[in-house]
Structure 1
């Protein structure tokens, strides 16, 4: 995973991984959520990719779009 730049300084996101049709997001508490085109749609995955690369707005986007926040494909708990 790549470290999230966190330009705002207060994001809950610490890292992300981008694939062809998914974005995996690791939050501060250690849990990784996988958002796929099949689970949230191509439009949302494209937005998540853009925000992850930019380093700002990723956590906000996820929390403000109910179909994204509850639409993850899988969740990996912290070890």
Structure 2
């Protein structure tokens, strides 16, 4: 996993990993969730990838737009 830049200093996201059609997000509590194009939608995965690369807004985006639309919890 790649460390999330957390440019705001207040994110609940600590790391992420990109897959072919997915993004796995690790949160402060240690939980890792895999979001896929099938579970969350192509547009959401594209936006989450962009936010992850920018290091800002990923946690907020997930809570406002994706919520529990993850494919699976890994931890």
- Normalising by structure 1, we get a TM-score of 0.92
Tell me how far apart the structure 1 counterparts of residues 39 and 5 of structure 2 sit (CA, whole Å): 25
Counterpart for residue 15 of structure 1: 15
Tell me how far apart the structure 2 counterparts of residues 20 and 75 of structure 1 sit (CA, whole Å): 18
Q: CA RMSD in A?
A: 0.6
Counterpart for residue 63 of structure 1: 63
Give the drift of 1:72.
0.2
Tell me how far apart the structure 2 counterparts of residues 46 and 3 of structure 1 sit (CA, whole Å): 19
Give the paired residue count: 75
- Normalising by structure 2, we get a TM-score of 0.97
Tell me how far apart the structure 2 counterparts of residues 20 and 55 of structure 1 sit (CA, whole Å): 20
User: Gaps (5+ residues) in structure 2?
Assistant: none
Give the drift of 1:75.
0.4
Tell me how far apart the structure 1 counterparts of residues 46 and 25 of structure 2 sit (CA, whole Å): 14
Give the drift of 1:70.
1.3
Moved over 2 A (4+): none
